[in-house]
Amino acid sequence: MTGISMQGKWPKVMLLSAATSAWLAYDIISAPEVPRQALAVLQYALLACALCALVGSAVMVATDR
């Protein structure tokens, strides 16, 4: 019987990237004022990277690599 193993680095990367994505999304949504353009671009770029890491690590866990 094969199941998702919580051993290895991919589940940890998945957990960390999910937490980072949630924190960044909350920070973007709950901002009381509009940030400068450079900061907004940086926040959205970091959110995109965190979401890519989340999807990639979920795929790696699902394929048992």
Q: Which pLDDT belongs to residue 4?
A: 55
pLDDT of residue 53: 94
CA distance 16 to 23: 11
What is the pLDDT, as a whole number, of residue 45?
97
Tens of pLDDT, residue by residue over 9-65, are 889 999 999 999 999 999 999 989 988 999 999 999 999 999 999 999 999 988 876
Backbone phi, then psi, for 26, in 5-degree steps? -60, -40
The per-residue pLDDT for 1 is 38
The DSSP string of 42-62 is HHHHHHHHHHHHHHHHHHHHH
pLDDT value at position 57? 93
